Amino acid sequence: MAKTVLVVDDDPTQRRLLQAALERDGYQVAQAENGGDAIDRMVRGDGADVILLDMVMPGLSGMETLAELRSAGVTTPVIVLTANAGVDTVVKAMQAGANDFFVKPVSPERLIVGVRNALQMTQLTAEVGRLTKRVQGRFSFDDLVGSSPAMRMVKSLGARAARSSIPVLITGESGVGKEVIARALHGASDRAGKPFVAVNCGALPVNLVESILFGHEKGAFTGAVDKTLGKFREADGGTLFLDEIGELPLDMQVKLLRALQESEIDPVGGKRPVRVDVRVLSATNRELSRQVQAGLFREDLFYRLNVFPIEAPALRERREDIPALIDHFITRFNAEEGKRVAGCSPETLALLAAHDWPGNVRQLENAVYRAIVLADAPFLQPHDFPAISGVFAPELEAASAPSAPSVATVTLPPPPEAPIRILDDRGHLRTLEEIERDLIQHAIEVYAGHMSEIARRLGIGRSTLYRKVREQGLEEHLKDAG
CATH number of 388's domain: 1.10.8.60
Quickly count: other Cβ atoms within 10 Å of residue 76's Cβ: 17
Which residues constitute the domain of residue 423?
407-481
Residue with the bigger pLDDT between 440 and 423: it is 440
| 338 and 299 part of one domain | no
3-state secondary structure of 145: coil
Residue 135 lies in a domain: no
Average pLDDT over residues 382-388: 91
The answer to whether position 402 is within a domain reads: no
- Are 332 and 279 part of one and the same domain? no
Q: How far apart are CA 157 and CA 335, in angstroms?
A: 33
pLDDT tens, position by position, 99-146? 888 888 888 888 988 898 888 887 777 777 767 766 776 788 988 999
Residues 6 or more apart whose Cβ sits within 8 Å of residue 80: 53, 54, 55, 62, 66, 93, 98, 100, 101, 102
Q: Output b/e per residue, 232-245; b: 16+ Cβ within 10 A.
A: bbbbbebbbbbbbb
* pTM, to two decimals: 0.66
Q: Is the pLDDT of residue 400 over 60?
A: no
CA 433 – CA 472 distance, rounded (Å): 9
What pLDDT score does 418 carry? 46
pLDDT digits (tens, 9 = 90+) for 306-351: 999 999 999 999 999 999 999 999 988 988 888 888 888 888 999 9
Same domain, 122 and 145: no
Whether residue 401 is contained in a domain is answered as: no
Residue 418 C-beta-side C-alpha neighbours within 13 Å: 3
- Both 282 and 154 in a single domain? yes
β-pair type (168-171, 308-311): parallel
- Answer yes or no: is 419 within a domain: yes
Flag whether 238 is in a domain: yes
Give the count of beta carbons closer than 10 Å to the beta carbon of residue 328: 20
Distance of alpha carbon 63 from alpha carbon 53, whole angstroms: 9
Q: Both 9 and 79 in a single domain?
A: yes
Query: Exposed (0-12), middle (13-18) or buried (19+): which is 390, by Cβ within 10 Å?
Result: exposed
Q: Residue 279: give its domain's CATH number.
A: 3.40.50.300
> End of a domain among 347, 367, 394?
394
Q: How confident is the model at residue 477 (pLDDT cuts 50, 70, 90)?
A: low
The pairing of beta strand 274-275 with beta strand 264-265: antiparallel
Tell whether the model's pLDDT for residue 412 goes beyond 60.
Answer: no
Contact 456, 394 (CB under 8 A): yes
Please, which residues have CB within 8 angstroms of residue 230's CB and are 6 or more apart in sequence? 211, 212, 213, 214, 215, 216, 265, 267
pLDDT in tens, 91-108: 888 888 888 888 888 888
Residue 53: Cβ within 10 Å count = 26
In terms of C-beta density within 10 A (0-12 exposed, 13-18 middle, 19 or more buried), how is residue 6 classed? buried
Say if CB 36 and CB 59 are below 8 A apart: yes
Last residue of a domain, one of 275, 296, 313: 313
Amino acid at residue number 52: L
Chain centroid, CA 448 distance in Å:
38
pLDDT in tens, 225-271: 788 899 999 999 999 999 999 999 999 999 999 999 999 998 888 88
Query: What distance lies between CA 417 and its chain's CA centroid?
Result: 43
- Looking at the chain, how many residues does it have? 482
Mean pLDDT of 426-444: 79
Number of domains in the chain: 4
**Is residue 406's pLDDT more than 50?**
no
User: Do 259 and 303 share a domain, yes or no?
Assistant: yes
Percent of the chain's residues with pLDDT above 90: 45
Q: Would you state the pLDDT for residue 481?
A: 58
Report the pLDDT value the prediction gives residue 85, as an integer from 0 to 100: 61
Task: Quickly list DSSP for 185-233.
Answer: HHHTSTTTTS-EEEEEGGGS-GGGHHHHHH-B-TTSSTT--S-B--HHH
Same domain, 161 and 100: no
